[in-house]
Structure 1
């Protein structure tokens, strides 16, 4: 049984994961939170203690400083802390370094987002083949469990795909992954997670249609869906991490990802992009200072974790699946509803961070118990979805399966 968890990162998602690890430290053991800025780790620990979430008081929760790009020092930290499970919740630029450190240290690894090269945006698909999957053989050779994309999307939505294939369909035609935030944070404009990573997604739309990759323009295809609880919401066809493994591992004709944006968000984003402020390419000021516009924009926008105290409303994330079962047509929506205010009351977080932070801890518990411990590299949809989804419910992310939801209208191209 694996024990002792090293959480790398100290943002909003790591904040939630630390709370959930503390609530299950009787299984997971000691918890170390490590980041470049150790003070942020200490703030998370203060929140965990404030909420009295440390279940087993004999176990430790503590912090360390880490440069996750430094593989030897990371290996040293893993061994010093006797961590057997590493949850990577840092920026996606460090994924390959942390994965390498886990392989060398002989411990389990998981992340919640695909690796990114800072100098490359929206590379050709499938993205996992460009980086992570190249080390799958080494993971298998050394018996290393590496679970990729174990957040919500990617992560839980991948498990929803596996659940649909296992229990609800003999043949899947289409899967539409739908992610909407119907909450209000009271700011003029903000992103719900790291603005830099968020805006890098909006360069190209790689989507899987008719069993091939199709490239669309950003925010060019729109759909309105009548969601449970949150009602009718506009969603836009978007590229996203999970498509790049689901296209390989799930037998479906088309798999698409849609994200909800209101008119205000689209308008502000369009202006920022037209001004060049979402660019990752450096520019030089009149004073001779080189800056990256996207990093400047990140610096001036609200920190996503700061939105939590005043956030109201709910999120809805799920998979709308069409296909056949026993020769009959079937359509289902597998989804979760999460409430911002409830999340803040429980763990001092907003729902976006909550939905991303709970699943990797559930995965860690399954690794610790030996239920999800394949001793090789896998994406979430390659594992049995049942124990994962069953565990997520009591941890705060219950799943609903609804037959024949109404889709309004069909997709349309934005003029």
Structure 2
């Protein structure tokens, strides 16, 4: 049985992971939170104690400072803390260094987003093939459990695809993953997670359509969909992490991702992009210093963790899946509704961080129990779905399913480029 968790990253998702690990520390053991800024870790610990979320007070909850790009330092930290499970919720630039440290120490590795090279944006698909999957053989040879993309999307939505394949369909035609935030944070403009990572997603749209990768313009294809609870919302075809493993591991003709954006968000984003503030390419300012405009923008925008107090409304994330069962056409919508105010009441968090932070803790519990300790690198859809979905139900992320939901019918997608 695995025990002792090292959480790397002290942002909004790390905040949720720490709370939920503390609430299950009778299973997970000691918990260390590590970041370049140790004060952020200590602030999270104060929140856990303030909400009385440390289940077993005999177990340690403490912090350390670490540069997650420094592999020897990570190796030393894993050994010092005797951590057998590492949950990486830092920026995706650090994924490969954290994974390497886990391979070297034998610790379980988990992350919630695909690895990115800071100098490369929206590389050609499949993205996992560029970095993570190149280490599959080493993980298997060393008996390392590495679970990739175990947030919500990617993560829970991947598991829903496996659940659909196992329990609801004989054949799957299309999977459309829909993510909408119908909440309000009261700020003029903000992103719900790291602005730099958020805006890097909006450079190109790679989508898996008719069994091939297709390229589309950002925010160019819109569908208005009548969601449960939150009502009719606009969603736009967007590239996203989970497509890059689902296209390989789930036998479906199309797997697409759609994200909700309001007119105000798109207008502000358009202006920022048109004047160059979302660019990752450094520019030289008057005193000769070079800086990437997106770094300046990140510094100016609200910290996503600061949005939680007073956030109202709900999120809805779901998979609209079409296929056949017993030679009959079938469609289902598998989804979750999450309430911003309820998340704040429980964990002093907002719903975007909550939905991303609860799943890795559920996965850690399954690993600790041995159910998911598979001794190899996997994406979430390759693991048994039912125990994960059932555990999430108990931990605050309820899965609901509608048979024959309101139809989701996107327009014909024609590729600007294919690979």
Are 1:151 and 2:151 counterparts? Answer: yes
Q: What is the SS of the residue equivalent to 1:323? A: strand
Instruction: Give the direction of change, closer, same or farther, for the CA distance of 1:206–1:74 in structure 2 (3 Å limit).
Output: same
Paired with 1:85 and 1:342, the residues of 2 have a C-alpha distance of: 28
Paired with 2:407 and 2:358, the residues of 1 have a C-alpha distance of: 29
Q: Deviations over 1:326-380 (max 9, x none)?
A: 0000000000000000000000000000000000000000000000011000000
Paired with 1:367 and 1:229, the residues of 2 have a C-alpha distance of: 33
Q: What is the SS of the residue equivalent to 1:393? A: helix
Paired with 1:119 and 1:129, the residues of 2 have a C-alpha distance of: 17
Q: Deviations over 1:225-253 (max 9, x none)?
A: 10000000000000000000000000000
- 1:315 alignment partner in structure 2: 315
Are 1:283 and 2:279 counterparts? Answer: no
Q: CA deviation at 1:405?
A: 1.0
- 1:41 alignment partner in structure 2: 41
Paired with 1:72 and 1:207, the residues of 2 have a C-alpha distance of: 37
Q: What is the SS of the residue equivalent to 1:394? A: helix
Paired with 2:301 and 2:119, the residues of 1 have a C-alpha distance of: 22
Q: What is the SS of the residue equivalent to 1:236? A: strand
- 1:353 alignment partner in structure 2: 353
Paired with 1:155 and 1:248, the residues of 2 have a C-alpha distance of: 15
- 2:28 alignment partner in structure 1: 28
Q: Deviations over 1:272-315 (max 9, x none)?
A: 00000000000011222211100000000000000000100000
- 1:386 alignment partner in structure 2: 386
Q: Do the aligned residues in 2 keep the contact of 1:2 with 1:369 (CA within 8 Å)?
A: yes
- Count of residues paired in the alignment: 413
Q: Do the aligned residues in 1 keep the contact of 2:320 with 2:408 (CA within 8 Å)?
A: no
Paired with 2:193 and 2:404, the residues of 1 have a C-alpha distance of: 32
Q: What is the SS of the residue equivalent to 1:295? A: helix
Paired with 1:218 and 1:407, the residues of 2 have a C-alpha distance of: 24
Are 1:98 and 2:90 counterparts? Answer: no
Q: Do the aligned residues in 1 keep the contact of 2:4 with 2:84 (CA within 8 Å)?
A: yes
Paired with 1:132 and 1:166, the residues of 2 have a C-alpha distance of: 26
Q: Do the aligned residues in 2 keep the contact of 1:308 with 1:350 (CA within 8 Å)?
A: yes
- 2:294 alignment partner in structure 1: 294
- 1:72 alignment partner in structure 2: 72
- 1:245 alignment partner in structure 2: 245
Q: Deviations over 1:144-203 (max 9, x none)?
A: 000000000000000000000000000000000000000000000000000000000000
Residues 334-413 of structure 1: pairs in structure 2 closer than 5 A: 334-407=334-407, 410-411=410-411
Q: What is the SS of the residue equivalent to 1:6? A: strand
- 2:416 alignment partner in structure 1: none
Paired with 2:385 and 2:36, the residues of 1 have a C-alpha distance of: 34
Give the superposed CA RMSD.
0.8
Q: Do the aligned residues in 1 keep the contact of 2:237 with 2:259 (CA within 8 Å)?
A: yes
Residues 127-166 of structure 1: pairs in structure 2 closer than 5 A: 127-166=127-166
Q: Do the aligned residues in 1 keep the contact of 2:10 with 2:35 (CA within 8 Å)?
A: yes
Q: Do the aligned residues in 2 keep the contact of 1:281 with 1:292 (CA within 8 Å)?
A: yes
Q: What is the SS of the residue equivalent to 1:406? A: coil
- 2:52 alignment partner in structure 1: 52
Paired with 1:94 and 1:147, the residues of 2 have a C-alpha distance of: 15
Q: CA deviation at 1:410?
A: 3.9
Paired with 1:303 and 1:158, the residues of 2 have a C-alpha distance of: 28
- 2:417 alignment partner in structure 1: none
Paired with 2:255 and 2:184, the residues of 1 have a C-alpha distance of: 29
Q: Do the aligned residues in 2 keep the contact of 1:224 with 1:407 (CA within 8 Å)?
A: no
TM-score of the superposition, structure 2-length normalised? 0.98
Q: What is the SS of the residue equivalent to 1:226? A: strand
- 1:324 alignment partner in structure 2: 324
Q: Do the aligned residues in 2 keep the contact of 1:127 with 1:244 (CA within 8 Å)?
A: yes
Paired with 1:408 and 1:14, the residues of 2 have a C-alpha distance of: 34
Q: Do the aligned residues in 1 keep the contact of 2:169 with 2:323 (CA within 8 Å)?
A: yes
Paired with 2:354 and 2:412, the residues of 1 have a C-alpha distance of: 32
Q: CA deviation at 1:408?
A: 5.9
Unaligned runs of 5+ in 2: 414-419
Q: CA deviation at 1:409?
A: 5.9
- 1:217 alignment partner in structure 2: 217
Q: Do the aligned residues in 2 keep the contact of 1:221 with 1:412 (CA within 8 Å)?
A: no
TM-score of the superposition, structure 1-length normalised? 0.99
Paired with 1:320 and 1:177, the residues of 2 have a C-alpha distance of: 6
Paired with 1:409 and 1:211, the residues of 2 have a C-alpha distance of: 18
Paired with 2:4 and 2:311, the residues of 1 have a C-alpha distance of: 33
